Structure 1
Amino acid sequence: MIDWTYSEGVYELTLATPPCNEIGTTMLADLRRFLDQIDRDAHTLILRSGLRQGFCAGADLRELYRGLCDAPKEQHGPQIRQFIDAIHGVMDDLDTLPLTTVGVVHGVCFGGGFELALTCDVLIAEKTARFCFPELRLGIIPGFGGIPRLRRDVGNGLIRDLLLSGRSINAKKAQAAGLVSQVVAGGEGITAARALAAQTAKFDPTARKAAKAFIKKLPADELLAERELFVRLAEGPALMAALKRFVESTDLRPYLP
Structure 2
Amino acid sequence: MSQGASDSPAAGIHLSLHDGVHELALAVPPCNEIGSRMLAELERVLAELDPNAHTLIIHSTLRGGFCAGADLRELYHGLQATPPSEHAVQLRGFIDRIHRVMDALDMLPLTTIGVVHGVCFGGGFELALTCDMLIAEKSARFCFPELRLGIIPGFGGIPRLRRDVGNGLIRDLLLSGRSVGAKKALAVGLISQMVASGEGLPAARSLAAQSGKFDPTARRAAKAFIKPLPVAELARERDLFVELAQRPAMLAALRRFVESSELRPYLP
Question: Whole-Å Cα distance in 1 between the matches of residues 241 and 148 of structure 2?
Answer: 14
- Superposed, which structure 2 residues align to 1:164-183 within 5 Å? 164-183=175-194
Residue 61 of structure 1 pairs with residue 79 of structure 2: no
SS in 1 for 2:106: helix
Letter of the 2:151 counterpart: I
Unaligned runs of 5+ in 1: none
CA offsets 1:183-236 (integer angstroms, 9 cap, x no match): 000000000000001001110000000000010000000000000000000011
Letter of the 2:43 counterpart: R
Indicate conservation of the 8 Å contact 1:4/1:11, yes or no. yes
Unaligned runs of 5+ in 2: 1-11
Alignment-derived partner of residue 6 in structure 2 = none
Letter of the 2:90 counterpart: Q
Letter of the 2:62 counterpart: L
CA offsets 1:132-181 (integer angstroms, 9 cap, x no match): 00000000000000000000111000000000000000000000000000
Indicate conservation of the 8 Å contact 1:132/1:166, yes or no. yes
Alignment-derived partner of residue 129 in structure 1 = 140
Question: Whole-Å Cα distance in 1 between the matches of residues 53 and 218 of structure 2?
Answer: 14
Alignment-derived partner of residue 81 in structure 2 = 70
Indicate conservation of the 8 Å contact 1:124/1:181, yes or no. yes
Question: Whole-Å Cα distance in 1 between the matches of residues 261 and 107 of structure 2?
Answer: 40
Cα RMSD after superposing both structures: 0.5
SS in 2 for 1:152: helix
Alignment-derived partner of residue 234 in structure 1 = 245
CA offsets 1:99-153 (integer angstroms, 9 cap, x no match): 0000000000000000000000000000000000000000000000000000011
- Superposed, which structure 2 residues align to 1:61-210 within 5 Å? 61-210=72-221
Indicate conservation of the 8 Å contact 1:40/1:97, yes or no. no
Question: Whole-Å Cα distance in 1 between the matches of residues 171 and 177 of structure 2?
Answer: 10
Alignment-derived partner of residue 51 in structure 2 = 40
Alignment-derived partner of residue 228 in structure 2 = 217
Question: Whole-Å Cα distance in 1 between the matches of residues 244 and 158 of structure 2?
Answer: 16
Structure 1 stretches of 4+ moved >4 Å: none
SS in 1 for 2:262: coil
Deviation at 1:76, TM superposition (A): 1.0
Task: Give the structure-1-normalised TM-score.
Answer: 0.99
SS in 2 for 1:151: helix
Residue 256 of structure 1 pairs with residue 267 of structure 2: yes
- Which of 252, 257, 261 is residue 246 of structure 1 equivalent to? 257
Aligned residues: 257
Deviation at 1:41, TM superposition (A): 2.3
Report % sequence identity.
73
- Which of 13, 16, 23 is residue 27 of structure 2 equivalent to? 16
Deviation at 1:37, TM superposition (A): 2.0
Indicate conservation of the 8 Å contact 1:54/1:106, yes or no. yes
Alignment-derived partner of residue 4 in structure 2 = none
